[in-house]
Amino acid sequence: NAGVTQTPKFRILKIGQSMTLQCTQDMNHNYMYWYRQDPGMGLKLIYYSVGAGITDKGEVPNGYNVSRSTTEDFPLRLELAAPSQTSVYFCASTPGQAQETQYFGPGTRLLVL
Amino acid sequence: AQSVAQPEDQVNVAEGNPLTVKCTYSVSGNPYLFWYVQYPNRGLQFLLKYITGDNLVKGSYGFEAEFNKSQTSFHLKKPSALVSDSALYFCAVRIRSGGYQKVTFGTGTKLQVIP
């Protein structure tokens, strides 16, 4: 199993541009998550999904959108990039139960200038 | 509301010495507690977790953690630190909130093991 994969690894965007961060998992996990990591701030949940077709907002959803058309894929969309969205983005997945661990992707580093 | 606190931004320890990375939590209900490690330019990796039972939990790479309900703590420990243990460590707590198992991460503690 490849686990959780993310593309791209690094991207520079201009203010106002849009892009999609890709996330794929091959473990047949029901739950998937998008986090952003800022220095000294830990991880903040952007959006999560409990299964195909079901998504919900996390702590910091403004400026982002998601979709979950399949179990495997959970893309994150930035419509109008802003400097405040400069961060490292991590995708994660779990089978679904509260006691289960999260599996993280390698991250996407995004710089908005 | 649930929260996790990692009071130390950085911990320095000499190679071969024991290490402790602190974590305290605040939840209403029974928590599931986790430790993750992040190496530079990598995603978080699972180290260990407390679900129920024995308060001393053993995990990967020789790490262990002790669940202390009275002190609401879950400190990460290792008897003898290695230079390769240098990384960013995150404590996390998870409980059920409605139909979703909300997970809250601490802000992370940078562990520096000095040769």
Query: pLDDT for A30-44, tens place per residue?
Result: 999 999 999 777 899
Task: Give dist(CA A9, CA B29) in Å, integer.
Answer: 38
CA of A16 to nearest chain B CA: how many angstroms apart?
27
Contact B43 A102 (CB under 8 A): no
Place of tokens 């992040």: B38
User: Which residue does chain A place closest to B40, by CA atoms?
Assistant: A106
Which among A42, A90, A98 has the least Cβ separation from residue B96?
A: A98
> Please, which pLDDT band fits residue A84 given cuts at 50, 70 and 90?
very high
Residues 6+ apart with CB under 8 A from A71: A28, A29, A30, A51, A52
Q: Give pLDDT tens digits for B13-28.
A: 999 999 999 999 998 8
Which among A4, A45, A101 has the least Cβ separation from residue B46?
A: A101
Closest by CA to A102, choosing from B75, B50, B36, B62, is: B36
Inter-CA distances, B108 with A39, A42, A80, Å: 9, 6, 30
What is the reported pLDDT for B38?
Answer: 93
Report chain B's terminal Cα–Cα distance, integer Å: 41
> Please, which pLDDT band fits residue A100 given cuts at 50, 70 and 90?
confident
Inter-CA distances, A36 with A88, A106, A110, B79, Å: 6, 12, 10, 33
Give the residue ranges of chain B where pLDDT is below 70. 96-100
Q: Which tokens sit at B40?
A: 């530079």
